[in-house]
């Protein structure tokens, strides 16, 4: 038995909660990605500036998500700051997962609103 398997046997994980949390996060990311597309379209950004806005806004909203949804319960459990292991398996998944999944939705609404506002 490998060590990670043994770890799982000792500290079992509730699969339903994992699915629920991942769904909540991905829902949020896909919604906000389209929203950022609307913002970039209204602002009339082009090329790199639009992607930069997407990156900055994504980082800000992920931080906000951490502060509002994760931090109260996580810090009460005496976990270190920016630790998401109470709700998510991988830290990288939480911090960067939405960046790539929302990119296509972002470009879609970005081009749509750029065209709507300026043509």
Q: Where along the sequence are the contacts to another protein (CB under 8 A)?
A: 11-14, 16-18, 20-21, 24, 27-28, 31-32, 35-36, 38-39, 42-44, 57, 60-61, 64-65, 68-70, 73, 77, 86-89, 113, 116-118
Beta carbon nearer to another protein, 18 or 108:
18
Beta carbon nearer to another protein, 2 or 11:
11
CB of 22 vs another protein, minimal distance in Å: 10
Q: Which tokens is 89 given?
A: 């398996």
On the CB side of 79, CA atoms within 13 Å amount to: 15
Cβ-count burial 11-31 (b if 16+ within 10 Å, e if not) = eeeeeeeeeebbeebeebbbe
């Amino acid at each position: 038995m490998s060590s990670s398997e043994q770890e799982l046997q000792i500290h079992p994980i509730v699969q339903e909660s994992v699915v629920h949390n991942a769904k909540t996060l991905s829902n949020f990311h896909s919604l906000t990605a389209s929203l950022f597309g609307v913002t970039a379209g209204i602002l009339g950004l082009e090329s790199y500036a639009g992607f930069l806005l997407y990156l900055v806004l994504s980082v800000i909203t992920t931080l906000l998500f951490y502060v509002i949804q994760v931090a109260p319960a996580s810090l009460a459990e005496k976990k270190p700051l920016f630790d998401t292991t109470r709700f998510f398996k991988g830290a990288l998944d939480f911090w960067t997962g939405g960046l790539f999944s929302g990119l296509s939705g972002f470009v879609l609404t970005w081009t749509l609103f750029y065209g709507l506002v300026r043509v």
